[in-house]
Amino acid sequence: MKKTLQIGGIEFKTPFILAPLAGYTDKTMRALCEEQGASLVFTEMVSGKGLKYGDRKSRQLLELTEEEVSAGVSDMQPVSGAAGFQLFGDEPDVLYGAARELAACDNVILDLNCGCPVPKIVRNGEGSALLKRLDVLYDCVAAMVAGAQMGAGALSETDTAPKPVTAKIRMGFARGENVAVEAAKAIEAAGAAAVTVHGRTREQFYEGTADWDVIAEVKKAVDIPVIGNGDVRSGEDAVRMMDETGCDGVMIARGALGNPWIFRDARLLWELGWKPGNGSLAAGGAFEMTREERIEMLIRHLEMLCEDKGESIAVKEIRKFVGWYTKGMRGAPALRREINQISDASTMVELFRTFQNR
């Protein structure tokens, strides 16, 4: 029987997770990935300070779909399609308050971002900057654990289980640095239920190759579940990461952009017991989506965005996804130029249909 991913008291049907991606993992993208088999999805990361001071946009990022709300209801069965919230910040008291408040929401996990490389986040001492201050990282995780426990206690007079707290790190801050094991041990000591490891430093951003050996090192060093992240571009990559590193789960980020099927492929390979070296089950195009299928999903993505955010916003936001859905297709550069001149959904769909049938 397959070993499932368990975080805290939550068991997930598969070990494959959609990462939080700023500007991308809105309700629509999450729903498409959930349909294909993502057991856990994350909203875009949310500022702890934003929640404290009532920022409207921060609140909006926490809105869940009906499916995510129902997936978070415990019925003693493995969970699939549930949602987690990822916070960022470097002030323990602020993160404590945020975790305490979010204990009442329908998410299933609270995560602390200790890996974001974006300059405006790092300049504030947040995200991957916490890797330079492991004492502060420890305090922030411990504060979130305490906040989640206090919030759970306030919800019920019974022993309501607090939401598990996890953290996502990179291997280090400066190029060539590796503090992953030390950081993961601090996170475990602070009471976290799992840690996600991206095998790059902050200075690398997304350059070069992710070092999966770092994930394996962390797995050997801590007792909590370890989730691997970095350079997972196919279902085979996801299963290979688990095989090579021994990690308990895989978090998929950019590999899911324009490719929600990556979760279906990973799940099928995992369930079938595929191992690297056994030959490619994807050989012959078994997992290769056709041009028609990719464009159909692109159109559906646009239609769901229209329903969720309105046509005006949707036609603008779909533009950043078009390049991902049409990557490698003949005529894709011209299509990307053309859609920048279109401001209504029906005309955009017509253009996609024309492109689909070329």
| Complete DSSP assignment for 273-288 | T--TTS--TTGGGTTP
Q: What is the pLDDT of residues 5-28, one digit of tens each?
A: 999 989 999 999 999 999 999 999
Q: Mean pLDDT throughout 211-223?
A: 98
The domains located in the chain, with CATH, are 5-285 (3.20.20.70), 291-356 (1.10.1200.80)
Please, how many CA atoms are within 13 Å of residue 184, restricted to the half-sphere of its CB? 28
Which pLDDT does position 154 carry in this prediction?
A: 65
Percent pLDDT > 70 in the chain is 93
pLDDT at 286 over 60: no
Which whole-number Å values give the CA distances from 295 to 311, 332, 357, in the listed order?
Answer: 19, 11, 10
| Diameter over CA atoms, the chain | 63
Annotation says 116 is catalytic? yes
Q: How many CB atoms lie within 10 A of CB 189?
A: 12
Query: Of 33, 105, 114, 116, which is the active-site residue?
Result: 116
CB 106 within 8 A of CB 69: yes
pLDDT digits (tens, 9 = 90+) for 68-125: 998 876 556 788 889 999 999 999 999 999 999 998 889 999 999 999 999 999 999 9
Q: How far is residue 95's CA from residue 260's CA, in Å, rounded to a whole number?
A: 32
